[in-house]
Every structure is written in C-alpha cells, then in structure tokens.
Structure 1
Amino acid sequence: MRDMIKHLTKTFRASALCTGALLCLSISPVGYASDNQQLDGVKQELSRQQGQLQDKQKRYAALQNELKQHEVSIANATKKIHQAENQRQALTRSIAKLSQEQQTLQQQRLGQQEMLRELLNTQYRQGQDSQLANLLSGEDSHTLDRFTVYAERISEARIKALTALAAIDTELQLKKHELAQQRQRQQDLVDELKEENQKRSRDQKRRKQTLAGIKSQISTDRGYINELKVNERRLLKEIARAKLEAERAARQAPMDGLAKQRGRLPWPVKGSVLHNYGTKQRGELRWKGMVIAKDSGSKVNAVYPGKVIFADWLRGYGLMLAIDHGKGDMTFYGYNQTLLKKVGDTVQANEAIALVGDSGGQSRSGLYFEIRRKGTPTNPRTWLKK
C-alpha cells in the first residue's frame, strides 16, 4: 500500500496538477490513522486541485469571451465612426458645391432683375411714343409697323425674363431647402460621431480591465506559451476551413496566385517592423508572420487582388481578415480595430480592408501580417517591395 501511495504521489507531482499542496503531504504514515486514510487524503487533494483548475479555466474562458465582446463592440463603433466620417466629408463637399450653386443662382437672379428693369424702362419709353402720337406727327406706315414689332419684341423679352426669374427663384428655393437638409444631416452625423466615440471609450476602458484580468490569469511564462500554442491551433483550424472555401471559390473564378509577385507586393501598412518572421516569440515558439507598428485607425490595404474568405474575431489574433489569392496562396491581416470587408467580398490591391488596432489583447497597435502557401507560412518580407 505504501509503495502504491509513493507511486501516486510522484505521478501527481509530475503532472503539475498538485503543485504546492502535494509537496506538503508526507509519505510517512505518521499523523495518519492508516494507509487508507492517507490515500483518501491524496484523492481529496487531487479532486480539490482539479476543481480549482477547472474553475480557473472557466474564469479564463469567460475573460476571453468578455475581451471578444469588448473588441467586437469597439470594432462596430469604429466602423460606424469611419462610415459617418466618410459621409460627413461627402456632405461637406456637397454643401460647398450647393453653396457655390446658390451664389451662382443669386448672381443670375440679379442679372435677370437688371435685364427686366431695362426692358420695363424701354417699354415705358416706348409707351410714351405711342402710335397715335406717331400718326399725328406724320410718320409713314412703314415706320409705325417697325415701332409695333419693336414693342412686341420688348414685351416678349419681358415675359421671358419674368419666366426665367421665376424659374431661378424656384431653383434657388430648392437649393436652400436641400442645403438646410444637408446641414441638418451633417449635424446629426456630428452628434452620432460624438455618441459612438463615447461608447468606444467606455468599451476601451472595460477592455483594459478585462486584459488586466487575463494577464493575471497567465502569470507564468509557461502559461503564456500554452496560450500561444492554443491560439495557433485555432488559427490552423480556421486556415483549414478557409482552404476549403478557397477551393470552392477557385472552381468558380480561378485566380493566379502570388507565384509571380515575389518582391513586388505593396506593404499592407507602412511602419516599423516590431517582429520579423521566424524570430523567437516565446519559448520554442517563433513568429509565423510579421508585426508592423502603426497608429490605431490607419488603413490596412490588401497586398494583391483576391476574395475575402475569413473576417472575424479570433482569440490571440483579434479581428482578423484572410484573403484567398488563388493557387493555395492566402494573406492574413490580424490585430485590427475594425474590418471594412466581409466574407465573399472581392478586393483589389491597395484597397482598404481594415483599420489598424490592438485587438486580441495586444499591448500596442499594429498589424499582424502573414502569408501562407498551401497552408505553409512563408517569410512575408521576401514578397514585399524593398
């Protein structure tokens, strides 16, 4: 019995599940009523520590879920802000154009008013020089006819001027109404931007608190390495799923892949490289891609035409987007603040697909960029322009 207890104790120590508490247990029968009591104590300690481990795992999973919710909420708010800002800029340009058109119409109106004033003045003078006065003065019929035609043309010109003035007034009123509507829409967008910014700030504070909780849960280097390994397995799972989607898409619209683009691809963002492909990440783990430092909110551009096959939050990588370029070639863009494209969208080289962020629990903003060929990571630096 003693030998069995010794064997169990050594096994529990090696498993790391009973670290700390089991070391305090003595193998000696001293202090125990019997060998069975000692074995029961070991079992109870094992059960307690297993329960603690399960509780810790549940808390950690809950914190990761909270992080996802915060970062997705931040992403949605950021996307609305981005769209509202674009609309506001478009409205500003439209308002400037309408204001210019309004000024032009006002100038035309002044011109028509001046023309009408001259016509009325001419018609008045023409009325003073009536046909009766001309007849009594001895003017011949040819001259009288000429005066009559002249008077009729003045009258026609006056009517046209009045009609044109009325049309200008109507158009001017429409422009004023449209301008007022667009200015109100612009103010609504400003209010919307303020509200979304406040919401994003609240989510960012909550995210910070959640991150502190996550870091306290992974307090050891080994715990962090295990987390990185789990995250990588999740990525590989999504890559396998994305490959199936890419193969289905390739049957519908074949793409040429990246084979001829080595050293020719544009950078997804311009910035200093924080981590290079192949360098040590933690423990025996190495970076499968590169991390480029960039301010939050900066645009992330696709490096080559393709189709979006993944656009979602992925633990460890935050908001990530993957593009299939054909022939088994895919690019991945992680840590984003928000995604501007969705699965199924076709994108072109240098087209904005996301905004730089620090999602996935990163300590600073930047872009995680990875290239895989037939599922195998390759050094992205060799594919980008020097």
Structure 2
Amino acid sequence: MKGISDTVLIFIGILFISYSLSFQTPPANAADPKKELTVIQQKLSKEEAKVKSAAKKEKSLLSELEEINRTIRTKQSELNSYDKELVETRSRITFLEDEISKLSSEMKKKKGSLKERLRELYKQRLGGDVALILFSSKDYNDLIKRSRYISLVAYHDNRMMNTYSKNIEDYSSKKQRMEALQRAARANKESVRTKMEEMSAEHHKKDKLLASIQSERSAYEKMAEELRGASIRLQDMVTKLEKQEEEASLAGRGFTAMKGRLPWPVSGSVLVPFGKYSDPNFKIPVFKNGIEIEITSDSTINAVHGGKVVFADWFKGYGQLLIVNHEKGYHTLYGNLEEIFHKAGDIINDGTPVGRIRAPGPQQVSTLYFEIRYKGKPVDPAGWLKRKETAKKKEGPPLKK
C-alpha cells in the first residue's frame, strides 16, 4: 500500500507506538507497580479525553486518506479493464477489416463472372440457342441428356446468383459489426481518458490532504491517536490468535532455533528501525514496533519461516496485513502489502511468497512493514534476521535509554 508508505504516514506510525508504549510500560524501578499503573491510567484518561474532544470537531483524516487510496486502486483497476477492452476491440476490428477486404475481392470476381454469364444467357435467348440445342437432338435419349445438361447449367447459374447475394448480405453485416466495434472503441478510448482524469484528481486530492497533515500539528496528533487505537486492536487480535498456537505448531516448529539466521522477507534497506529515536520533523521521541524496509522495484514478499496464516486482510493503520503464527507464541507480521497471496487458515513453508509490493512512483516511497511478536509483545527483528553488511536509516539517531 503505497499511501501508508509515504513519509508522513511513516512518521505517524512511529509516533503512535511511542505514545502506546509510554502509557503501557511502568519504570523498572517503580516501588509499587499497581500504584504506578493507576497513575499511568489516569494520564491516559486525560489524554484520551482531549483527543475525544478534538475528534468531535474534526473529520477522521486517516479514514479519508485510506478511502482515497481505495478509490485510486479501484479507478486503476477500471482503467486497466478499459485498456484491455480497447485492445481486444481493436483486434476484432482488424480481423473484420481483413475479412471484409477478402469478401470484397471475392465479390468483385463473382460480379464479373455473373455479368459475363448473364450476357451469354441474353445472347442465347435472342438467338434461340436453347431451343436449337433441344430440337437438334438425334433421338429421344439424346433429347433427355441435353435437357439435363441445360438444367445443370441453369442450376449452376442460380447457385452463382444465390452465392453472390449471400456475399452481399455478409459484407453488409460485417460492415455494420465493424462500425459498431469502431464506435465501441471510441467510447472505450473516451472512458480511458475520463478514468485517467479521475485518477489525477484523486492523486491531487491525496497530495493536498497530505500537505495539510504536514502543516497542522493537531491533525498529525489526531491521526497518531487513531493509529494508536489500531495498535491496541492489533494487540487484542494477536492475543486471541494465540489460541490457534496448537494448529500452527507443526508448520512453525524450529522458529526459535533460527534466531539470528532468519532470511529477510524482501531485499532492501531499512528506512525505519525498531525502537526509540528522534523524529526529524518534530524533534520528539518516538518508538517503532517493527521495521520499514524500502521497496525500489516490484517485489515479492516471502515468509521468513513456516507457520499458519491467522490473518490476511485490510487492517486500519497497517494497510493490507498478513500475520503468520509460529511456535511458542511467536508471530510475524507483514504490512503495507498491495496483494495478499494467502487466506487465514493456510499453512505455509519457509520462504513461501505471501504477497507483493509494486515499485513506487516518482518522488514516492514504498516500504514493507515487518514485525516479530512474542506473546503479543514486539521484539527487535534485528536480533532474529540474518545480519546485513549495511543498513540505511533516514530517521534520527536512537535515543539513549
């Protein structure tokens, strides 16, 4: 999903997890964890009250962005369909033009033959050739033979006339079909132009909305809170999905033994790392539950380990999301997918393709969002994936703990 992969939304995804973590994790040196939890819950209630008050006045920008992205995908699909239909229509027109050309040539030949035959028949009637042929018969049997010959000639002439007449009808019919296809081609071409204009308008609308998000801090924080809610829902969902641990145990066996040796789900540089660092735009501490891997060309995303697919659908804040359940409470999450290759319940093996992300457009960023969770809690993928020689990070430096 290229919309969520844009720079602004990457920052938003990072910000909401920072808030979530700060409200959920008590200090290690807290004397009374229960009392500390009460204080945290009180702070959370105050913050949520502020957000709810603002939410009543503002439309959900996140939902609007996601709706724009859905509209763009729908129109792109319609455009592809119109393009395909236009190509097929032009192919049929070419085929009919070829048939009409052949038919026209054949009709010219038959027309010439028919004219010549009619001229001969006219001469025969004027000269009495037919009667002469019959009356010059030697005997009765010869008369019968000559009569049959004349009948065959007449039959051939009649058949020639019928064939020519049918050719005229076929020519007219195919000509009408070709003209109808040409009208359809013109209509399809106009539909393609209209869809391209609609897509351009949607992209402009999206760019305008993203610009407003960048310029308004309050809108930015509101979207962050919405994504924080998405993270909480995801946390609840992962907890429920752990009940399916037994079904995936066979396929996911050996996951823990692969720590530090898991293959990368896709080749690319890490744009956003796991953990704390400073947001470059607002200079605030943020936290990321997973990593963002840059996609520079059309890429197939592969499972880092076998297991059971427990979720494969759209999830607010994560785009097209696929979750694989491995052994002993471990899950891997693959977000921002443009296509999902599996459904919930599928058993997959190591390296099985699970989805696809296409290359980004000009001045756009596409990324795969990847998480590893243990009993619902995020862990740093860097400790599980094979080490790379270099890793590019565009965000600020990690904060000191």
Same fold (TM over 0.5): yes
Question: For residues 260-319 of structure 1, what are the alpha-carbon distances to aligned partners after superposition, in whole Å with 9 as ceiling and x for unaligned?
Answer: 686676625x43113555x65479997643222347x987847487343674335xxx65
Paired AA for residue 237 in structure 2: R
Q: Is the aligned partner of 1:206 residue 2:236? A: no
Cα distance in structure 2, aligned partners of 1:300 and 1:170 = 47
Cα distance in structure 2, aligned partners of 1:172 and 1:179 = 10
Which shows bigger deviation, 67-76 or 103-112?
Answer: 67-76
Of 106, 120, 130, which aligns to 1:135?
130
Other-structure match for 1:274:
271
Of 165, 170, 188, which aligns to 1:164?
170
- Would you say how many aligned residue pairs link Structure 1 and Structure 2? 308
Which shows bigger deviation, 258-267 or 235-244?
Answer: 258-267
Paired AA for residue 84 in structure 1: K
Q: Is the aligned partner of 1:244 residue 2:240? A: yes
Cα distance in structure 1, aligned partners of 2:218 and 2:104 = 72
Which shows bigger deviation, 68-77 or 198-207?
Answer: 68-77
Other-structure match for 1:351:
355
Cα pair 2:241 2:310 within 8 Å, conserved = no
The alpha-carbon deviation at position 377 of structure 1 amounts to 4.0
- Residue 156 to residue 167, structure 1, CA distance change in 2 (3 Å): same
Cα distance in structure 2, aligned partners of 1:264 and 1:174 = 59
The alpha-carbon deviation at position 112 of structure 1 amounts to 1.3
Question: For residues 47-67 of structure 1, what are the alpha-carbon distances to aligned partners after superposition, in whole Å with 9 as ceiling and x for unaligned?
Answer: xxxxxx998875566678999
Percent of counterpart pairs with the same letter? 13
- Residue 195 to residue 287, structure 1, CA distance change in 2 (3 Å): closer
The alpha-carbon deviation at position 162 of structure 1 amounts to 2.4
Q: Is the aligned partner of 1:98 residue 2:72? A: no
Other-structure match for 1:331:
332
The alpha-carbon deviation at position 169 of structure 1 amounts to 2.4
Paired AA for residue 168 in structure 1: K
Cα distance in structure 1, aligned partners of 2:57 and 2:320 = 17
Cα pair 1:266 1:350 within 8 Å, conserved = no
Cα distance in structure 2, aligned partners of 1:105 and 1:74 = 47
Cα pair 2:298 2:357 within 8 Å, conserved = no
- Residue 178 to residue 256, structure 1, CA distance change in 2 (3 Å): farther
- Residue 148 to residue 92, structure 1, CA distance change in 2 (3 Å): same
Question: For residues 302-321 of structure 1, what are the structure 2 equivalents within 5 Å?
Answer: 303=303, 306-308=309-311, 311-314=314-317, 319=319, 321=321
Q: TM-score, normalised by structure 2?
A: 0.58
- Residue 234 to residue 92, structure 1, CA distance change in 2 (3 Å): closer
Which shows bigger deviation, 180-189 or 135-144?
Answer: 135-144
Other-structure match for 2:116:
125
Paired AA for residue 127 in structure 1: L
Cα distance in structure 2, aligned partners of 1:67 and 1:355 = 34
- Residue 255 to residue 293, structure 1, CA distance change in 2 (3 Å): same
Question: For residues 149-193 of structure 1, what are the alpha-carbon distances to aligned partners after superposition, in whole Å with 9 as ceiling and x for unaligned?
Answer: 321231232133123223312422332243233223223312321
> What are the ranges of 5 or more consecutive residues in structure 2 without an aligned counterpart?
1-43, 135-145, 279-283, 347-351, 389-401
- Structure with greater contact order relative to length (CA < 8 Å, sep ≥ 6): 2
Which shows bigger deviation, 95-104 or 321-330?
Answer: 321-330
Question: For residues 64-103 of structure 1, what are the structure 2 equivalents within 5 Å?
Answer: 69-103=60-94
* Aligned partner of residue 271 in structure 1, secondary structure: coil
Other-structure match for 2:231:
235
- Residue 258 to residue 79, structure 1, CA distance change in 2 (3 Å): farther
Of 152, 157, 172, which aligns to 1:151?
157
Paired AA for residue 86 in structure 1: S
The alpha-carbon deviation at position 109 of structure 1 amounts to 1.2
Question: For residues 189-204 of structure 1, what are the structure 2 equivalents within 5 Å?
Answer: 189-204=195-210
Cα pair 2:309 2:343 within 8 Å, conserved = no
The alpha-carbon deviation at position 126 of structure 1 amounts to 0.9
Cα distance in structure 1, aligned partners of 2:93 and 2:180 = 10
Cα pair 2:271 2:294 within 8 Å, conserved = yes
- Residue 122 to residue 234, structure 1, CA distance change in 2 (3 Å): closer
Cα distance in structure 1, aligned partners of 2:106 and 2:333 = 67
* Aligned partner of residue 99 in structure 2, secondary structure: helix
Other-structure match for 1:375:
376
- Residue 274 to residue 301, structure 1, CA distance change in 2 (3 Å): same
- Residue 235 to residue 55, structure 1, CA distance change in 2 (3 Å): closer
Cα distance in structure 1, aligned partners of 2:178 and 2:234 = 58
Question: For residues 82-139 of structure 1, what are the alpha-carbon distances to aligned partners after superposition, in whole Å with 9 as ceiling and x for unaligned?
Answer: 2212321332232122112112212211221221222122112111111535426648
Question: For the aligned residues, what is the CA RMSD?
Answer: 5.0
Cα distance in structure 1, aligned partners of 2:57 and 2:356 = 28
Cα pair 2:253 2:326 within 8 Å, conserved = no
Q: Is the aligned partner of 1:290 residue 2:281? A: no
The alpha-carbon deviation at position 75 of structure 1 amounts to 2.2
Q: TM-score, normalised by structure 1?
A: 0.60
Cα distance in structure 1, aligned partners of 2:51 and 2:240 = 31
* Aligned partner of residue 129 in structure 1, secondary structure: helix
Paired AA for residue 155 in structure 2: V
The alpha-carbon deviation at position 259 of structure 1 amounts to 3.8
Cα pair 1:79 1:339 within 8 Å, conserved = no
